[in-house]
Structure 1
Amino acid sequence: MKEDALEKIILETVDIPSLPTVAMKVLQLMQSDYSSINELEKIISHDQAFSTRLLRIANSPYYGRGRSIDTVSTAIVLIGFNTMKNLVVAASLKDIHRKFGLFEQKLWEHSLGVSIAASIIAMETKLVQSEEALVAGLIHDVGKTVLNNSLPERYAVIVERVYEEGLPFIEVENDMLGFNHCNVGGLIARKWKLPKNLEVVMEYHHAETFPSFEDSNFETFCEIIKIADAVCLNMGIGLRRPVNISNIELDRIGISEEKFSELQEKIKKAYTEQKAKLLE
């Protein structure tokens, strides 16, 4: 199916949300060469809940690195403008959840697990920045959240089939909807004008082969998220029970089986420590 036709079907079926206003203003401001820290701080600080959430993520070990970040301006100075864009997107995710039952809780836990796993894998391989991998992991499954919001009854059936029949989400979604959460994720990223590295992760994190990206780092990004996702599936993070993924292609990012076992233990520990803190 041609991309335009697929997008038309998705747009007719799914209610694609807008990025929260504060995030949209921040991303627009950051695209200007003349934006200042003061302007940025003013926009973020006007939304108390948003700025609190932003500072909580900024103080996680993957950003704060042991430093205490207590103001938005400190966060911008220490983290930098580019990483701040990603943080703003991450802090917006909670506003996209219209309801929060058991499935939504599990989906959030899975995204959190993938973000931590991706960050740790990125730190180990040094192939991409760990801060960017963290946000890519958090946002990779937003397509599922949006499908669940738009088509709650149909998506509940999809979720049941995934668990009862042991099939991947993408397979059941394609069968029942004619498209999947990755197609929806790519569309959302383009509507929100997200950085390209987040767009490719949202659209291609389940792809067997990749299109020829303009930046070879994009493929590496997708590989890291795919592996982080597989780690979390194997551990049962955000699932009713673990799913055994045996064909994890570690050689694509240069990690040995032995090193991978070490990383899995590290990921498990970090996830347990961070879950309570970031889900507040």
Structure 2
Amino acid sequence: MQEEIIERIILKTVDIPSLPPIAMKVMGLIQDDYASLKTLEDIISRDQGFATRLLRIANSPYYGRDRKIEDIPQAILLIGFETLKSLVIATSLKDLHRNFGVFEQRLWEHSLGVALCSSLLAMVTRLATSDEALVCGLIHDVGKTVINNAMPEMYMQIYEKMYEEHRPIIEIENEVLGFNHTIIGSLIAKKWKLPEKLEVVITHHHTYPYPAYEDQAFADICNIVRVADQICLNLGIGLKEPFETTIDYESLGMTEDNITEVAGLFKIKFEQQKEFLLG
């Protein structure tokens, strides 16, 4: 009952968007056994911005492909339907921004950084596949985008408070708004009917220790995304300045030396690919 009351209050404050139209079309086609590959290619190719972002993500060095993916047909063949479905959702996120200024660019850069770092951590630890980790990282902060759309000035102030007081963003969101981006994200995941694993990551990427689940894979992917997020905060990826925070490397069975090495490699690779990926 308490959850329903909170949900009603949130929905009066923040408009929970539908999945962007192109993503809805692609998702529908992927789930249609009779849909042709050509139709799927045509729909994705028709939206140049969307197609470009999809190819950029698919060609990320963290994605682990042996050959460059140059067009949408190749992407579909090499990536496969299941991964494509997740990437379509993730690639749609940029379209959710009603405005796209410096602040929104930083939110997108942070999500992309966490995605690429999650993918790298997945490859190192072998606790998840790199493409699964990539998508989970990309979508983990969808709640922030939606809050920022609803109250851009206030949300920028929340971030300024985070810098000034050096406190976690989720703590300040709860204090100022009475809810946080993981709660908003959870509502979005339910509305979009996202796969359970994505919903769990969106809802619990700040939860540690992770709540008891029968499926250890859920705990593993949440730990990967949380650690990637902590690495990006410490490096200032998507932030005005670095935000020092503890990195829970033990949750991935890693040592401090391991995580320092991975963070260093990630920083170099991200800087090399930043313009290519963010443009």
- What is the TM-score normalised by the length of structure 2? 0.93
**1:268 CA drift (Å):** 0.5
Structure 1: runs of 5+ lacking an equivalent: none
Instruction: Indicate the residue corresponding to 2:269 in structure 1.
Output: 270
Instruction: Indicate the residue corresponding to 1:20 in structure 2.
Output: 20
Equivalent positions of 1:43-122 (< 5 A) are 43-63=43-63, 65-122=65-122
Instruction: Indicate the residue corresponding to 2:169 in structure 1.
Output: 169
Instruction: Indicate the residue corresponding to 1:260 in structure 2.
Output: 259
Deviations 1:216-269 (A, max 9, x none): 2111111001100111111121222222223x2222211122221211111101
Q: Does 2:233 align with 1:249? A: no
Instruction: Indicate the residue corresponding to 2:239 in structure 1.
Output: 239
CA distance in 2: counterparts of 1:277 and 1:217, whole angstroms: 31
**1:34 CA drift (Å):** 4.3
Higher mean displacement: 186-195 or 117-126: 186-195
**1:79 CA drift (Å):** 0.8
Higher mean displacement: 155-164 or 270-279: 155-164
Letter in 2 for 1:265: G
Q: Say if 1:219 and 1:36 are closer, same or farther in 2 by CA, change over 3 A.
A: farther
Is the CA contact (8 Å cut-off) linking 1:113 and 1:237 kept in structure 2?
yes
CA distance in 1: counterparts of 2:104 and 2:48, whole angstroms: 24
CA distance in 2: counterparts of 1:36 and 1:221, whole angstroms: 33
**1:64 CA drift (Å):** 6.1
CA distance in 2: counterparts of 1:22 and 1:214, whole angstroms: 35
Is the CA contact (8 Å cut-off) linking 1:20 and 1:92 kept in structure 2?
yes
Q: Does 2:267 align with 1:279? A: no
Instruction: Indicate the residue corresponding to 1:179 in structure 2.
Output: 179
How large is the RMSD of aligned CA atoms in angstroms?
A: 1.8
Equivalent positions of 1:182-201 (< 5 A) are 182-201=182-201
CA distance in 2: counterparts of 1:96 and 1:208, whole angstroms: 29
Structure 2: runs of 5+ lacking an equivalent: none
CA distance in 1: counterparts of 2:188 and 2:196, whole angstroms: 12
CA distance in 2: counterparts of 1:238 and 1:47, whole angstroms: 26
CA distance in 2: counterparts of 1:276 and 1:161, whole angstroms: 29
**1:107 CA drift (Å):** 1.5
- What is the TM-score normalised by the length of structure 1? 0.93
CA distance in 1: counterparts of 2:168 and 2:237, whole angstroms: 15
Higher mean displacement: 253-262 or 208-217: 208-217
Is the CA contact (8 Å cut-off) linking 1:112 and 1:275 kept in structure 2?
no
**1:111 CA drift (Å):** 1.3
